[in-house]
Amino acid sequence: MELHDTTLKSIQLSESLEDYMETIFELVRDNKLARIKDIAKARDVRSASVIPAMRRLSEMGLITYEKREYIDLTPAGERVARRVYARHRLLTRFFRDILGIPNEFAQKDACALEHSLSDEGMDHIVRFFEFIQSCPEGGDVIARLQTCSLVNSDKKQCTGGCAIRHKEHVPSPAQMKTLRQIKPGESCNIIRINGTGAIRQRILDMGLMPGINVYVERVSPAGDPMWIKFQGSQLSLRLKEAETVLVNPE
Amino acid sequence: MELHDTTLKSIQLSESLEDYMETIFELVRDNKLARIKDIAKARDVRSASVIPAMRRLSEMGLITYEKREYIDLTPAGERVARRVYARHRLLTRFFRDILGIPNEFAQKDACALEHSLSDEGMDHIVRFFEFIQSCPEGGDVIARLQTCSLVNSDKKQCTGGCAIRHKEHVPSPAQMKTLRQIKPGESCNIIRINGTGAIRQRILDMGLMPGINVYVERVSPAGDPMWIKFQGSQLSLRLKEAETVLVNPE
DNA sequence: AACTCCATGTAGACGTGTCTACCATATCTA
DNA sequence: TAGATATGGTAGACACGTCTACATGGAGTT
């Protein structure tokens, strides 16, 4: 099977068809053959949905598909499938092993991106791995990232060896303020969200993230909601939420 | 505008509708109002395609849309739109500023992922930023990553301060072999792809990446193609390609 | 040989999201 | 005030990918 001389770019498959190709690739690799039933099961669709897809892939010359015969990849199809599969693997590794996203979610996110990741994007992720693998600092920092309590637990303070060094760069806990402590009329820059679970998610969904600049508009006379402004629009925040947002006053 | 008490999860929009929401969000923010024509232009579709989408969003209570009136977001719609927009921004920053993907591609990749990124995934990317911002090592290593010639140029050897340190962890250039030098029957682990451009892309598309284990099956008697085996399947590689693959013999 | 079972295949429907072609309305200008 | 122009809206078509309900074929069983 020659892999040269043909370009993969010529064929532009839909996401669905790419998924079928990837599924067939895995089935052929594991079981030597792919059946309609297995494909349907793997993709969680009905057999009847598989058949028109197989017909289209067959017309494109990517699979061999004769009625009631087993399905296999053509050499061209193998190239296409391998490409998608490689992207899936790379993304899964990146999301899981570098970013620490639990496997289940890493898989899901990889599925979403594998179809549309640009060549540039893929290349840079590979380079990221190359860097991690080649540069001693790279490996060290990823190890530190993965053990840092900031990232991996819900403790608010980084414990362990890096605790002291944190203070060099970042305002010490004493200097650090929460968004709640910022007075109306003042601005600040978000460092970290200490909230967890639903609170954290809600804060992130609003767009409050590390690096974002926030202006405090006013605090309700009643005390509780405070109004903040950022990225050109204004919204209200419960004090309970604002307490969990660590900021750097300006 | 209150942001509490309502869950965003209840509404599950299609990718297309999420894109419309995001577009409307940006238009309203920048121009105070959104018109069919502007939405169509921003999304690069015909006006006729926008109208049924607006009708559906309006029925869901996410936008105010009366025939021939300007379009605005409802409070519920603003929450949904802000959430999508926040994800888009976060992903763009991550792809561009951390991974170094050029802006144009970072945008494109962010668009692909923003609709389906899991909450877990988003959370871990945020934690990554928090780590970078809080841990001195984090910031340093990203700076190094971005200036490392391994990542940013096509030089084969990392120049600058880290050149010597590389040797501690990684086989020195003398010990390091290319895949071409591996004899049939031997295995190796891929460290890096030195090839650039089309060659690099083709190698990556095959699934040859850092960290992958490869077994050399045989070399053609004619000399040129060599056959390798990895991840359960076998394929052929030009020597010209194999030369660019740096490996760690086992 | 007839029967049974199950994988495979067919037909027709549906929802989504786009398009083209044409129609309606409003706003500006002569 | 009447037409020109641009914006918004309608109707109908189409591709895609899924579904349900039903038909077909083949392999083993009685």
Task: Judge whether B70 lies within some domain.
Answer: yes
User: Which of A82, A108, A138 is the last residue before a domain boundary?
Assistant: A82
What does pLDDT average to over chain B? 85
The residues of chain A scoring below 50 in pLDDT are 1-7, 155-156, 163-164, 167-169
Q: How confident is the model at residue B67 (pLDDT cuts 50, 70, 90)?
A: confident
Chain A 42-61 contacts with nucleic strand D (CB below 7 A): 43-46, 48-49, 52-53, 56
More confident residue, B116 or A173: B116
Q: What gap in Å lies between CA A37 and CA B90, rounded to an integer? A: 40
Provide the 3-class DSSP secondary structure of residue B85: helix
Question: How many domains does one find in chain B?
Answer: 2
Residue A99 lies in a domain: no
Please judge whether A100 and B205 are an interchain contact, meaning their C-beta atoms are less than 8 angstroms apart: no
Structural domain includes residue B113? no
Region class of A60: left (phi > 0), else alpha (psi between -120 and 50), else beta: alpha
**Nearest-CA distance A122 → chain B (Å):** 9
Domain-located, residue A61: yes
pLDDT, tens only, A5-50? 344 555 789 999 999 999 999 999 999 889 999 999 999 999 999 9
For residue A207, being part of any structural domain is answered with yes
In this complex, the residue of A82, A121, A126 whose CB is nearest that of residue B109 is: A121
Q: What is the CATH number of the domain that holds B47?
A: 1.10.10.10
Q: B178 phi and psi, to 5 degrees? A: -95, 160
The alpha carbon of residue B181 is apart from the nearest alpha carbon of chain A, in Å, by 20
B201 lies in a domain? yes
Q: Are A70 and A33 in contact (CB under 8 A)?
A: yes
Residue B52 contacts A, CB cutoff 8 Å: no
- From the Cβ of B53, is strand C under 7 Å away? yes
Domain-ending residue, one of B82, B106, B127: B82
Name the amino acid, one letter, at B129: F
| C1'-nearest nucleotide to the CA of A44 | D18
Q: Which residues of B touch A138 (CB under 8 A)?
A: 141, 144-145
Of A96-110, B71-85, B139-153, least confident by mean pLDDT is B139-153
Q: Is B229 on the interface with A (CB under 8 A)?
A: no
Whether B237 is covered by a domain: the verdict is yes
Is nucleic acid strand D under 7 Å from A16's C-beta?
yes
CB contacts, 8 Å: B112 with chain A: 112-113, 115-117
Instruction: Give pLDDT, residue A164.
Output: 44
- For the residues B194-204, what does the mean pLDDT come to? 90
Structure tokens at B100: 């170094």
CA nearest neighbour of A192 among B125, B88, B126, B123: B126
B2 reaches A (C-beta below 8 A): yes
Extract the tokens encoding A36: 């309609």
User: For residue A230, what is the domain's CATH number?
Assistant: 2.30.30.90
Expressed as residue numbers, the domain containing A231 is 177-249
Q: Is residue A129 one of the residues assigned to a domain?
A: no
Q: Which helix (H) or strand (E) holds A190?
A: strand A187-193
**What CA–CA distance (Å, rounded) separates B94 from B105?**
12
Final residue before a domain boundary, out of B66, B82, B98? B82
Beta carbons of A145 and B138 less than 8 Å apart? yes
Q: How far is the CA of A158 from the C1' of C17 (A)?
A: 49
pTM of the model: 0.88
Q: How far is residue B212's CA from residue B110's CA, in Å, rounded to a whole number?
A: 27
